[in-house]
Chains A and B, each alone.
Chain A
Amino acid sequence: MATEEKKQEILEKLKNAVIQYDEDASKEAAEEALKEGLEANDAIFNGLVSGMEEVGRLFEAQEYFVPELLMCADALYVGLDILKPHVSQLDLGVKGSVVIGTVEGDVHDIGKNIVKMMFDVAGFEVYDLGKDVPLDKFIEEQIKTDSDLVCLSAMMTTTMVGMKKVIDDLKAKNPDIKIMIGGAPVSQDIAEKWGADGYSADANNALKDAINMISSLKKMKDEAEQNKA
């Protein structure tokens, strides 16, 4: 077992590897973490993810831009791939799966990819449909994967209206499904009007909301089962 000091040192290495978008350093630090017997959960959340949080802050502060963000994500994925097989159960309190994509007619996917990354990081099972996704595809994929959450992104006011159609169809098929929407023209107001369960202006908050939504969904399901029993 590593000493507390050694442990902190490795966590710091993981964190910095992400911030400095250094894939090699991320690999090394992740391997060292396993060798020294660190909990994989600990290494992911207090190392890699805490690095990504700092990256998010640098992005907000306009010190980092989209290319930096993508490179940090690559470094994070390198570490994550090494650590993930050693994770017993991710420490979110929930285990979720999410279908995500940019709606038909819209090829803006930079923002969607950032949101997707946050879900990956948090240990969600992510089904990324990409961009310019035919509206029916969201419904098909949700049914196929039995996902708890569907995330829709749109960057244009014309394509945004497609989201309403997807929401209506999904809710008609399965009223319990949670839907989250986002993208520059979308607002809290619109999300409420169209019956989406969540909206967020940025990726960090999207993740927090998603976790809350899914845990309340799980609770509802559990209660329903108990009542049956």
Chain B
Amino acid sequence: MTEQTMTSRDRVLKLFAKEDIDRPPCFSGMGNVTAEGLKKFGYKFAAVHSDAKMMADSAASSYKLFGFECAVVPFDLCVEAEALGCDINVYSHLEDILYPTIKTKLVNTEDEMDISIPSDLASRGRIPMMKEVIGLLKDDVGSEVAIGAHVLGPFTLAGQVMELNTLLKLSFKKPDKIGKLLDMLADALIVIAKEYEDAGADYITVREMGATSDVLSPRVFKNLILPYLKKIFAALSKNSVIHICGKTNDIAGFMVESGADAISVDQKNDVVETRKKIGNDALLFGNYDPYNVLVSGTTDQVRETMKGCMDSGVNAVWPGCDIWPTVPPENFHAMMDEVKKYRR
């Protein structure tokens, strides 16, 4: 098929199905709203997190403005923790683009760890709104691009609901106790991810960056984190991606083992090495630096980097993290153009 006859949606879905495609798609499983997109609608970044229409409009704008081959929600990492009972801060008093954060943790010390999943989880916080957003995106651009949604991994979610230093130390000292918590959070994440799938998401990205090898040893990753990632991916029914940023070369094999359909790594990963390790059959997405290349690089640097990613064998050109909102339009266009003209 040629560029004209294959829609971005076909390309992405065929990629997941491991069918032949003309070129690697250029998309993401993480947030990719741009300042340009917000400007088009006159939306403030702080406002788009809690309004279904505004979030859907913003999420579709990178496709409409630049031809980015997906629409992905949400833009922040607080949805799950909020549904579990945390308060969040969206910084509506500030004009700058700041990402929402958790204000108060549910668990501060070891003896506060007895938390449970609310039985009405799926109707708490912004989960109902997220389903509405996915529906709106389906109607708006769903026949042209794949719709993605992301949830956190269990360990990263634990870091949102629990005092991080306590979590990190207990992961080492009392892995059984943390294992129990991760198991429960994995169940919560399955509930949420399934809601997203039912609402029409074509692929789910599980972001487990808290367990990067910059923070946690590969050994702890394998023993403590991997079992619960496996549990999640076994329960999902559509396409899935595991994303971890930072150092990942030593855990790339475990990421494949998790059962996700594809693994996503950032610029710190040597993807040539990773490819050798995981073989040609596994889907590997990555791995350009969304800030130092896409935002602050020149168009030539952008082109070179995208070509480099494809030459080194990624199956999709995909950022190392959220696309940073202040990306200059010419850089976004250069990225799309470079990927579109690429032929292996």
Contacts and interface: CB of A to CB of B under 8 A. Distances in A.
A105 B98 contact: yes
Contact of A67 (B102, B216, B326): B216
A67 B324 CA distance: 30
Given A65-B217, A132-B101, A71 B96 contact: no
A67 B172 contact: yes
Interface in B54-83: none
Interface in B165-179: 165, 168-169, 171-173
Given A65-B215, A67-B220, A107 B102 contact: yes
Given A62-B213, A105-B96, A132-B101, A157 B168 contact: no
A116 B258 CA distance: 36
Interface string B208-239: 00000111110010000000000000000000
A74 B168 CA distance: 13
A152 to B, nearest CB: 16
A157 B217 CA distance: 26
A34 interface: no
B295 interface: yes
Contacts of B164: 109-110
B254 interface: no
Contacts of A147: none
A66 B216 contact: yes
Interface string A45-83: 000000000000000001001111011001000000000
B129 interface: no
B16 interface: no
Contacts of A110: 164, 215
Interface in B75-106: 89, 91, 94, 96-99, 101-102
Interface string A140-180: 00000000000000001111011000000000000000000
Contacts of A71: 169, 172-173
Contacts, number: 56
Contact of A105 (B91, B173, B295): B91
Contact of A158 (B89, B96, B173, B215): B96
B43 interface: no
Given A67-B216, A105-B94, A105-B96, A74 B295 contact: no
B4 to A, nearest CB: 37
A37 interface: no
A185 B168 contact: no
Contacts of A161: 96
A97 interface: no
Contacts of A62: 213, 217
Interface in B272-292: 291
A78 to B, nearest CB: 14
Contacts of A16: none
Interface residues of B, number: 26
Given A70-B168, A70-B169, A71-B172, A105 B99 contact: yes
B99 to A, nearest CB: 7
A113 interface: yes
Contacts of B217: 62, 65, 68
A65 to B, nearest CB: 4
A66 B210 CA distance: 11
A158 B168 contact: no
A17 to B, nearest CB: 16
B303 to A, nearest CB: 21
Given A105-B91, A107-B102, A113-B165, A67 B96 contact: no
Nearest to B324: A157
B291 A67 contact: no
A158 B101 contact: no
Interface in A174-228: 185
B291 A157 contact: yes
A65 B165 contact: no
A102 B168 CA distance: 19
B222 to A, nearest CB: 13
Given A65-B217, A71-B173, A113-B165, 17 more contacts: A62-B213, A65-B213, A67-B168, A67-B220, A68-B172, A70-B168, A71-B169, A105-B98, A105-B99, A105-B101, A110-B215, A156-B99, A157-B291, A157-B324, A158-B96, A159-B98, A161-B96
8 contacts: A65-B220, A66-B215, A70-B169, A71-B172, A132-B89, A158-B98, A158-B324, A162-B96
Interface of B: 89, 91, 94, 96-99, 101-102, 164-165, 168-169, 171-173, 213-217, 220, 291, 295, 324, 326
Please give me the 3 A-B residue pairs with the lowest Cβ-Cβ distance, nearest first: A105-B98, A67-B172, A67-B168
